[in-house]
Amino acid sequence: MTNIQAGTGAAVAAAPVSADVPAIELDSVVKEYVSHGEVVPAVKGVSLSIAEGEFFSLLGPSGCGKTTTMRMIAGFEEPTRGTVRLRGEDVTNVPPNKRDVNMVFQSYALFPHMSVWENVAFGLRRKKVPGDEIKRRVGDILEVVDLVGREKRRPKEMSGGQQQRVALARALVNRPRALLLDEPLGALDLKLRQAMQIELKRIQRDVGITFVYVTHDQGEALTMSDRIAVMNDGLVEQLADPREIYERPATKFVAGFIGTSNLLSGTVQHVTGATAVLALGPSDRIVIPADGTASTGDAVDLTVRPEKITISTEQPVGDLSIVRGTVAEVVYLGTSNSYTVVLADGADITVFQQNAHDSTITAGRGDTVWLSWQPRHSYALR
Amino acid sequence: MSRRLRAALTPYALIFPGGIWLAIFFVVPMVVMLSLSLQSGSVEEGYAFAWNWHSYADGLSNYHDQIIRSVIYGLASTVIQIIIGFPVAYWIAFKGGKHKSLYLFLLLLPFLVSFVLRTISWQFMLSDNGILLGPLKSLGLLPEGFRVLATPYAVIGGLAYNFLPFMVLPMYVALERIDPRVLEAAQDLYASRFQTFLRVVLPLSLPGVFAGVLMTFVPATSDYVNASVLGGTNTTMIGNVIQNQYLVTQDYPTASALSFTLMALLLVGIFAYAKALGTEDVLEVAAR
């Protein structure tokens, strides 16, 4: 079982707030379930370190282990192996009610028999905070989430967005070391979701608490996070800041999961200084940055984003990556045109062309075109 | 017929069979019983309608002991059912896993046998030298004169046993509906297991307990089978009196008047109970 260290391969993005002790640390955490006598691994060895005040996302498809990882931080699941530390303190076997982290559940999980005020006060009451302090803190947090005047409402009398904010207030009022959010916007419609993304980010800045955010929505993760851990099949594929994740995906999985990307493969023809030149077809030439390990004859997978590619009907010149193909489809998308181009080896390439100046279509179906991009926009993938 | 008219009539058409059924077999007997309760006369001379309210006063003054006893037995059996039934419902709802239906079926299995037959089998089990008490007595663990049959314990026990599923099922439904994430949320918000139970599980299960009490207290209080099979002369309940008046003494006015008195008492009791416990505010107080 391999143990993927945080940021393996790609450069590790610096945590935004410097602190001596990380808010949350996972050390080679493994979670296995036994089902019908068979051991089923959900998390196969995750190590990461989340800094104080950071907005950290666990991103991945369903079943990738992101929720299990979060539930181990919350204490709802005990790791099969490995250590969970909060501010340096080993809490691996500490039950959730004794951990100074709070969770916002996917379905909110508000107490249906209590008013908004009682819901929010629940944690403080259990911690035996004095009554007048509870009153003050509940009042303050309801102001932060903009729910003043709705204290006496029942959860079922409120909209999804309002329930979401109650769930947020109920967790934040305890001033936890970290707030764990499990797909908190999943049940909201698109408009509200976008509004809540901005709202969440604002609240996080205001209260300065570490947020750990679980989502399968790459847009959400890219918008809000300081750093993202992309998970797949129980392992962290890449851990970096949003720009790095998008611009320089480390693995095939990350390239495919985040945004639209084109996957190509070729063989290294020769290495010149800092670049390696690959060949696909007879008139094709791809130049990529060489990391020093590439040598002639290596098979390499690489990716290039659709918006980095220029499409033209004449062969471009210069030190570019250039491939030739035939237009299979042109789709008008409003702000851009999307071309699907088939290369000589049968690979499909998607190209976005901005409608910046005029919406003229460069080429139609069946036309032969050249695609070109800067060498620094394509990378070899692990 | 226009579509709108048909749509407007559909609900009435749907309620019609049930409505007719209730009218014939519920309302008519009630009216007949009411008029019976107001008759005067005797078995020998026959009864005639006479706006005779005396049966009510006589019934109350002659049989208030049995009425009070019935309410006490009904309450006691209901409390026992809550104490026994809640853990059962809780266990099936939260620990039953894949076999919930099986456990519910097992709970209901004895109730596929006739009510009277089950009570008679209790009589057999509890008899003075029967399979339970006999061996204990011959071992000297119990005194020779010890008995359970014909005591209030036998009657209350029988009542508690016979109506148990009607207590467990509504409680199970209420517990089963609780979202497990809500329990996790309570734990996440620093509640211990006991506090989670007290502040969240218990308040959320109260509607089920409430329904269970309604469904068991009323039939237990007006029951006569348990008292006649398991009880003795000192455990007579109001149901036995009414049955006796109808079928043995044939004093129809008194029997009818007692039936109405019992019904009125139960209705008042239920309304007071619903008023006191049936609102959501109770849940909130319980949760605090």
Tokens 């455990």 correspond to what residue? B235
How close, in Å, is residue A96 to chain B by CA atoms? 5
Among the residue ranges A18-22, A124-128, B144-148, the one predicted with the least confidence is A18-22
pLDDT at A327 (0 to 100)? 93
The partner residue sitting opposite B182, judged by closest CB among A98, A103, A111, is A111
Question: Is A338 in the B-facing interface, judged by CB distances under 8 Å?
Answer: no
The list of chain B residues with pLDDT below 70 reads 1, 278-288
Three-state secondary structure string covering chain B: CCHHHHHHHHHHHHHHHHHHHHHHHHHHHHHHHHHHHCEEEECCCEEEECCCCHHHHHHHHHHHHHHHHHHHHHHHHHHHHHHHHHHHHHHHHHHCHHHHHHHHHHHHHHHHCCHHHHHHHHHHHHCCCCCCHHHHHHCCCCCCCCCCCCCHHHHHHHHHHHHHHHHHHHHHHHHHCCCHHHHHHHHHCCCCHHHHHHHHHHHHHHHHHHHHHHHHHHHHHCCCHHHHHHCCHHHCCHHHHHHHHHHHHCCHHHHHHHHHHHHHHHHHHHHHHHHHHCCHHHHHHHHC
Gap between the Cα atoms of B14 and B139, Å rounded: 64
pLDDT at B128 (0 to 100)? 86
Q: By the 8 A CB rule, do A179 and A146 touch? A: no
pLDDT at B49 (0 to 100)? 83
- Average pLDDT of span A152-158: 93
Is A7's pLDDT higher than 50?
no
Task: Return the SS3 of A37.
Answer: coil
- Count of domains observed in chain B: 1
- Cβ contacts of B184 on chain A, cutoff 8 Å: 76, 96, 103, 105, 109
Task: Tell whether B48 is covered by a domain.
Answer: no
Task: Tell whether B20 is covered by a domain.
Answer: no
Task: Tell whether B9 is covered by a domain.
Answer: no
Residues of chain B that touch chain A, judged by Cβ-Cβ distance less than 8 Å: 179, 181-182, 184-192, 195, 199-200, 203-204, 280, 283-284, 287-288
List A304's β-bridge partners, or say none: A262, A378
- B287·A111 Cβ contact <8 A: yes
User: CA–CA distance from A256 to each of A61, A93, A181, A259, A287 (Å)?
Assistant: 12, 37, 25, 7, 21
Position A124 confidence tier, pLDDT thresholds 50, 70, 90: very high
Gap between the Cα atoms of B80 and B158, Å rounded: 11
Gap between the Cα atoms of A40 and B182, Å rounded: 27
Task: Tell whether B139 is covered by a domain.
Answer: yes
Task: Tell whether B103 is covered by a domain.
Answer: yes
pLDDT at A283 (0 to 100)? 66
Question: Is A186 in the B-facing interface, judged by CB distances under 8 Å?
Answer: no
The partner residue sitting opposite B203, judged by closest CB among A109, A113, A123, is A113
Nearest residue in B to A182, CA atom: B181
Is A286's pLDDT higher than 60?
yes
Query: What is the CATH classification number for the domain harbouring B150?
Result: 1.10.3720.10
Task: Return the SS3 of A184.
Answer: coil
Those residues whose C-beta lies under 8 Å from the C-beta of residue B141, and which sit 6 or more positions away, are none
User: CA–CA distance from B148 to each of B76, B79, B89, B232, B249 (Å)?
Assistant: 17, 20, 28, 10, 29
pLDDT at B177 (0 to 100)? 92
Among the residue ranges A111-125, A177-191, A212-226, A344-358, the one predicted with the least confidence is A344-358
Exposure string for A102-140, b = 16+ CB within 10 A, e = fewer: bbbbbbbbbbbbbbbbbbbbbbbbbeebeeeebeebbee
For the record, the structure tokens of B215 come out as: 């469904």
Residue type, B43: V
A233-249: pLDDT as tens digits: 999 999 999 999 998 88
Is A6's pLDDT higher than 60?
no
Is A14's pLDDT higher than 50?
no
Position A104 confidence tier, pLDDT thresholds 50, 70, 90: very high
Question: Is A110 in the B-facing interface, judged by CB distances under 8 Å?
Answer: yes
Compute the half-sphere exposure of residue A201: CA atoms within 13 Å on the CB side of its CA: 13
The pLDDT mean for chain A works out to: 86
- Average pLDDT of span A324-338: 88
- A112·B204 Cβ contact <8 A: yes
For the record, the structure tokens of B35 come out as: 């008029």
A vs B: CB pairs below 8 A: 72
Task: Tell whether B245 is covered by a domain.
Answer: yes
Residue % of chain A over a pLDDT of 90: 50
Gap between the Cα atoms of A154 and A347, Å rounded: 56
Is A180's pLDDT higher than 90?
yes
Is A13's pLDDT higher than 60?
no
Most confident of A326-335, A337-346, B223-232: B223-232
Q: By the 8 A CB rule, do A355 and A299 touch? A: no
- Cβ contacts of A114 on chain B, cutoff 8 Å: 284, 287
Position A157 confidence tier, pLDDT thresholds 50, 70, 90: very high
Task: Tell whether B17 is covered by a domain.
Answer: no
Residue A210's CB is within 10 A of a number of other CB atoms, namely 26
Torsion of CA B6, B8, B10, B14, to 10 degrees: -160
pLDDT at A69 (0 to 100)? 96
Residue type, B6: R
Burial of B176 (0-12, 13-18, 19+ CB in 10 A): middle
Question: Is A76 in the B-facing interface, judged by CB distances under 8 Å?
Answer: yes
Task: Return the SS3 of A203.
Answer: helix
The pTM score is 0.78
- Average pLDDT of span A2-11: 38
Is A353's pLDDT higher than 80?
yes
Residue type, A302: L
- A102·B284 Cβ contact <8 A: no
- Cβ contacts of A137 on chain B, cutoff 8 Å: none
pLDDT at A3 (0 to 100)? 42
- Cβ contacts of B203 on chain A, cutoff 8 Å: 113
- B189·A126 Cβ contact <8 A: yes
Q: By the 8 A CB rule, do A152 and A42 touch? A: no
DSSP string, A275-321: EEEEESSTT-BEEEE--S---TT-EEEEEE-GGG-EEESS---SS-E
pLDDT at B171 (0 to 100)? 95
pLDDT at B283 (0 to 100)? 55
How close, in Å, is residue A172 to chain B by CA atoms? 11
pLDDT at B279 (0 to 100)? 60
pLDDT at B262 (0 to 100)? 93
Gap between the Cα atoms of A158 and B142, Å rounded: 63
- Cβ contacts of A102 on chain B, cutoff 8 Å: 188-189
Is A122's pLDDT higher than 90?
yes
pLDDT at A133 (0 to 100)? 96
ipTM (interface predicted TM): 0.79
Choose among A247, A245, A319: nearest CA to A288.
A319
For the record, the structure tokens of A109 come out as: 């999980």
Task: Tell whether B223 is covered by a domain.
Answer: yes
pLDDT at A17 (0 to 100)? 44
Residue type, A280: L
Q: Domains, chain A, ranges and CATH? A: 1-100+221-253 (3.40.50.300), 260-380 (2.40.50.140)
- Cβ contacts of A169 on chain B, cutoff 8 Å: none
pLDDT at B268 (0 to 100)? 92
pLDDT at B96 (0 to 100)? 87
Task: Return the SS3 of A61.
Answer: coil
- B199·A102 Cβ contact <8 A: no
How close, in Å, is residue B268 to chain A by CA atoms? 27
- Average pLDDT of span A322-345: 88
pLDDT at B286 (0 to 100)? 52
- Average pLDDT of span A322-339: 88
pLDDT at A70 (0 to 100)? 96
- Cβ contacts of B288 on chain A, cutoff 8 Å: 118, 125
Q: CA-based angle A253:A259:A262, to the nearest 5? A: 70
Residue B220: which domain range? 56-287
